[in-house]
Amino acid sequence: MLYIVTKEIRFETPRTREYEWHVGEKNPLESQKNNVTSHIIECVTEVQADGDELGHIEYNFPTMPRARGKRVVRWFGTDAKFIAANL
């Protein structure tokens, strides 16, 4: 399973959301109604992956830094944004 955490400030109130993604599914940050994906990507603060989804990241992004031997891995900042944008 892969979790994407976003934090957005609207009207001076922080709003945190969590999205879930599995291998073979569409990127949950893509909007069907309008093109707000780039704005949402900028709000990504964390990505956490395990299982098949972690294997997907290791295979598709082999240079992505990660703690080897861990069953659950978390990325923050620009690494998290990159993963979320390229699922």
User: What are the tens digits of pLDDT across the range 40-54?
Assistant: 888 999 999 999 999
The 10s digit of each residue's pLDDT in 5-40 is 999 877 777 889 999 999 999 998 886 445 556 778
Report which of 87, 17, 5 is spatially closest to residue 52, judged by C-alpha positions.
Answer: 87
**Token code pair at residue 17:** 């959301």
For residue 22, what is the DSSP state?
Answer: -
- Cβ atoms of 72 and 50 within 8 Å: the answer is yes
Enumerate the domain spans of the chain. 2-85
Distances (CA, A) of 46 to 32, 39, 76, 77, 84: 23, 15, 5, 7, 9
